């Protein structure tokens, strides 16, 4: 075959894998939103079959030989980048047998159902043996990949290519130190000691919460004909196909949870819709890392959705529904700092401490220094150490997150990386468009959406995460930018 025929063959193979993975994603979305609970065993078999079929295509000897051949051709532009990245992916895939992929998919689907039951009954034991199975499989996966340094590294690489446990520890140590310093300033301030909360004194009907959440995601650019919003135990976003993204939320006592989670997931959805459509059926139509994906959700959720300019625009809509009173008090409450027990309900200062806690636990689970049976007590001990509070039960402790039930060991650090990246991106946006905060104040988000599309979305997976950030911001990961943002913002709110 000639070069064109070889590229056509490679692209057809990738298209088949993408379609299989998207059908699997659709089944997973349905499992978490609409599927009857008794359907889990059958659903696990279906997902295992699809993921096994997709992996089998990645193991194709013909595909590997054609990709290897194309690496030696004089390819240019996107084709050259795509072939190099596909070669990297195939080398990893060839280390994992199809039977293992099917087993992990099956075990994870059942574990996710057990996690939901354990949360409902507030009993970690219901989930614990399923988690043991997942941890055992992830350790095996690490051994099959082969690893340099910590066995966690190859699992982390699946979510954040090129990142290692050693690099993360350096960055997280700086982040943790900076966050603790800012928290001490806040906790010693008079404004912190005299906080007066509005939310605890108001009733927020479910219908009103959803009405406002749907309104805000449309305003930031997520159009109804491309998306839908459903309820799930844990909010998430799934890209199903071209022009088809699904986000989920949940209703809790705090109305800002539904509102904020919808903005967060809409940020993910906008990224999915903005990726290069011409590459939808090959790997260049993906994100370079989940840290970059999380940067888009955290950008909209925090940099925009928790800013004073945003609430100067949006507060009247909340006030009309809930009769809230003083704007300045409301803005302080939106950014209220308290050592909460739940990650996805947490403020900006404590959020990354939640991630560091999970990162430390995952390292122990994978290297064997932490046993699954001891997780509730270890979790509570670390919460006391980092936050000064202890969860009252498993649901608000070790069972609060869905990720481990899905086999996503190594995902959590990407939330912190994405949070840092989002601050760097916002800083660069303001430098390039100095009056952009006026747009936010007016409720006009078009220039922000266009800027993110040009700088991040349409780049797909052409660059590694840190290279992409360096291309946009002029530097790679920089914890100090995020800490400076927090210092300035919360210094103004709490008067330090």
Cβ burial of 11 (10 Å; 0-12, 13-18, 19+) is middle
Judged by DSSP in three states, 245 sits in strand
E strands in 440-485: none
Q: Cβ contacts of residue 492 below 8 Å, gap of 6+?
A: none
The dihedrals phi and psi of 195, each to the nearest 5 degrees, come to -65, 135
- Which of 112, 98, 102, 181 lies closest to 353 in space, CA to CA? 181
- Which of 239, 284, 258, 267 lies closest to 78 in space, CA to CA? 284
266 and 239 in contact (C-beta within 8 Å)? no
Which residue among the candidates 51, 102, 160, 265 is catalytic per the annotation? 265
Q: What is the largest CA-CA distance in the chain?
A: 75
247 and 237 in contact (C-beta within 8 Å)? yes
Rounded-to-integer distance, Cα 404 and Cα 416, Å: 17
Cβ burial of 233 (10 Å; 0-12, 13-18, 19+) is middle
CA 423, 246, 419 angle in degrees (round to 5)? Answer: 15
- The CB-side HSE value for 20 (13 A sphere, CA atoms) comes to 19
151 and 164 in contact (C-beta within 8 Å)? no
Annotation marks residue 328 as catalytic: no
1 and 9 in contact (C-beta within 8 Å)? yes
Positions annotated as catalytic residues are 265
């Amino acid at each position: 075959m000639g070069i064109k025929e070889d590229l056509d063959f490679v692209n057809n193979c990738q298209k088949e894998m993408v379609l299989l993975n998207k059908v699997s994603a659709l089944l997973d979305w349905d499992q978490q939103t609409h599927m009857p609970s008794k359907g889990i065993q059958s659903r696990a078999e279906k997902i295992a079959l699809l993921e096994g079929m997709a992996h089998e295509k990645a193991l194709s000897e013909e595909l590997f030989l054609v990709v290897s051949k194309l690496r030696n051709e004089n390819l240019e532009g996107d084709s050259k980048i795509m072939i190099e990245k596909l070669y990297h992916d195939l080398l990893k895939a060839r280390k994992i047998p199809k039977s293992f992929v099917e087993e992990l998919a099956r075990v994870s689907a059942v574990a996710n159902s057990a996690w939901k039951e354990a949360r409902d009954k507030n009993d970690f034991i219901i989930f614990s043996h399923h988690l043991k199975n997942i941890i055992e499989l992830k350790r095996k996966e690490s051994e099959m990949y082969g690893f340099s340094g910590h066995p966690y590294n190859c699992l982390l690489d699946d979510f954040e290519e090129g990142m290692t446990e050693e690099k993360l520890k350096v960055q997280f140590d700086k982040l943790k130190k900076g966050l603790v310093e800012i928290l001490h300033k806040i906790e010693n301030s008079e404004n912190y000691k005299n906080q007066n909360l509005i939310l605890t004194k108001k009733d927020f009907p479910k219908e009103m919460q959803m009405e406002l959440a749907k309104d805000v995601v449309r305003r930031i650019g997520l159009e109804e004909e491309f998306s839908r919003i459903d309820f799930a135990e844990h909010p998430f976003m799934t890209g199903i196909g071209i022009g088809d993204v699904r986000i989920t939320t949940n209703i809790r006592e705090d109305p800002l949870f539904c509102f904020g989670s919808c903005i967060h997931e809409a940020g993910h959805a906008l990224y999915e819709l903005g990726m290069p459509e011409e590459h939808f059926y090959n790997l260049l139509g993906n994100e370079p890392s989940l840290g970059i994906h999380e940067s888009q959700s955290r950008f909209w959720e925090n940099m925009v959705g928790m800013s004073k300019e945003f609430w100067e625009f949006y507060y009247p809509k909340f006030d009309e529904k809930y009769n809230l009173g003083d704007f300045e008090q409301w803005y302080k409450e939106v950014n209220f700092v308290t050592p909460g027990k739940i990650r996805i309900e947490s403020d900006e200062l404590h959020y990354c401490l939640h991630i560091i806690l999970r990162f430390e636990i995952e390292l122990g689970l994978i290297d064997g220094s932490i046993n699954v049976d001891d997780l509730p007590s270890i979790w509570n001990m670390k919460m006391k150490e980092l936050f000064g509070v202890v969860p009252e039960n498993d649901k608000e402790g070790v069972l609060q997150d869905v990720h481990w039930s899905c086999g996503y060991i190594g995902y959590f650090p990407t939330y912190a990386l994405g949070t840092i990246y989002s601050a760097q991106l916002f800083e660069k946006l303001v430098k390039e468009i100095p009056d952009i905060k006026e747009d936010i104040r007016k409720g006009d988000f078009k220039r922000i959406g266009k800027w993110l599309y040009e700088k991040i979305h349409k780049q797909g997976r052409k660059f590694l995460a840190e290279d992409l950030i360096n291309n946009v911001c002029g530097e790679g990961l920089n914890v100090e930018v995020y800490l400076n943002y927090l210092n300035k913002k919360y210094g103004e709110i709490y008067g330090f």
